[in-house]
Amino acid sequence: MAVKVKRALISVSNKIGLLKFSEVLQSLGVEIVSTGGTYKQLSEAGLKVLRVEELTNFPEMMNGRLKTLHPNVHGAILADRSKPEHLEQASQAGMKLIDMVVVNLYPFKETVAKEGVTLQEAIENIDIGGPTMLRSAAKNHKSVAVVVDPEDYEKIADELVKNGGCINDSTLFALSIKAFQHTCEYDSVIFNWLSNRYSSLKETDYKDSGVFVRNYLKIDCTKAENEFIDTYGAHNIKDAQGNFNKSINLKFEKIKDLRYGENPHQKAAYYRYAGTGDECLAASVQLQGKELSFNNILDTNAAFAIVKEFESPTVAIIKHNNPCGVSCATTVTQAYFNAHGADPLSAFGGVVACNYKWTTDAARFMSDKFVEVLIAPDFEAEALDILKSRENLRVLKIKFNLAEHLSAIKSPGYISVYPDLKGIDGGLLVQDLDEGLASSEVLETVTAAKPSRSQIDDMLFAWQIIKNVKSNAILLAKNKTTTGVGTGQMSRVDSARLATEKAGENAKGSVLASDAYFPFTDAVEIALKAGIAAIIQPGGSVHDKDIIELCNKNSIPMVFTGKRHFKH
């Protein structure tokens, strides 16, 4: 089965390749019907073209808003050629059947990307007739070819020439799917942009509508609320009250295909949120090195998630999505030296992230170490020269303003800008990211011994990191540097044992952070034997009293946070 193309309706905004394609159609005897600027271009090029008004017997009006929305257009597209009654009704109505629809839509995305675009300009670039024709043709794909992508012109022309003006069923079906994808994405862009405009609308703009819109449109929003609308609103994840919607509409754009996924037998690709800003990992720029792998990207994301929440120069080293060394210091070089020294064996082949400009001295220290990825907001020129000698080292520069980010996450009622999505078999789990800063004000000292100022600083440092460690998690820290990390164990006792063994002698005097409460005293007993000096944990166990008594017996201060940091 195939469709013989006798008449084509062409109406496009993107005219790349159109003239050559139209010439092929006309050489095959296809009658071309067109509108507006498309008609002008084709007729001026010497092609014989009918105006759409000659099919509709109805003039174009309302500044082009109304031209193809007519039964003589849509009946001519929708008539099912396999049904005699459809053909008879079309004939009685004087319809001239259309066998091909070549349409791409008003450039809404390109229009709203321009600086200073007004709402009215955007509205006028919302195509109505185009998507309607595409959907009509795609629905009736067994009878009509629908073409939305100029890149398809050449292969369609080749097929038409080869088949004497006919297009086969498999091509028709593939084109229909592409058309539905095109209209879906087009509507999504419109929805996203209009959602983002909520914060700029005035309640008075709609005062006569009888609808109280302030809560819905979030007028007089704080910066955090605006970011919430820009992200959650744009992707239809939450409503204006912060509740998750009954359905969500996520829009991603492919960055590139990856060599493979977590393992070589798994195909993989890299995407970013459509319309997302520049201050995110997906928008980072690779300055040198081999192509990023699936695992590189995951580990880099985990590493930068740690350092971006510290005010001082901070370096994190990630291995298999867990931190093996993190340190805050007065300089980037010292932070890297400390982080690497926390667990140099695990740091081999790791990913390094920094929240400050990468220094020349830090680059020199890295020069004899095997590192997969280095990411930072900026680099000293000499540091980049040194790093260039490591051809396989992937170096990423991320556009990131630390001061603005810290100001945002310190704001009352801060909402994580991007959601955390976890795919499951046949579905999706969605949650807020576990972002934000803890302060000493939320700590409840539950022991007789009170933590010192330096211990509190180390506790907050450890607590900030442990939310990025796979549960069950135990983390030891001293002088704002990790000394031991126990991660991903099925038993908190095993995590405590692993963390203290990793720390060795450095466990003495370290503080211990636990991502969840201790169900029994056993893990604490292991830590005390290793010489830990203070504990920070959520609290909430039925055995809290026993654990507090154990700490009091050993004169160890312990604080509760009242907040858990599971990471699965």
Residue 322: in which H helix or E strand, if any? strand 322-328
The first and second tokens of residue 371, run together, are 């590192």
Residue 213, beta-bridge partner list: none
Catalytic hit among 86, 96, 178, 320: 320
Residue labelled with tokens 């078999």: 425
Q: Which of 412, 508, 512 is nearest to 463 (CA)?
A: 512
Helices (H), 276-377: 294-307, 332-342, 344-347, 360-366
User: CA angle 7-69-183, nearest 5°?
Assistant: 85
- Give catalytic status of residue 529 as yes or no: no
Residue 486, beta-bridge partner list: 474
Q: Do 567 and 473 meet the contact criterion of CB atoms below 8 Å apart? A: yes
Query: CA 287, 293, 294, 295 torsion: positive or negative?
Result: negative
- Give catalytic status of residue 568 as yes or no: no
User: CA angle 18-24-29, nearest 5°?
Assistant: 125
Longest dimension (CA), the chain: 98
Q: Which of 314, 277, 309, 289 is nearest to 398 (CA)?
A: 277
Distance CA 260, CA 258 (A): 5
Q: Which residues contact 351 (CB under 8 A, 6 or more apart)?
A: 296, 299, 300, 302, 303, 317, 318, 319, 371, 372, 373, 374, 375
The first and second tokens of residue 12, run together, are 């496009």
DSSP state of 470: P
Query: CA 492, 493, 496, 501 torsion: positive or negative?
Result: negative
Q: b/e for 166-205, b at 16 or more Cβ within 10 A?
A: bbeeebbeebbebbbebbeebebbbbbbbbbebbeeeeee
Residue labelled with tokens 């798994």: 266
Catalytic residues: 139, 320
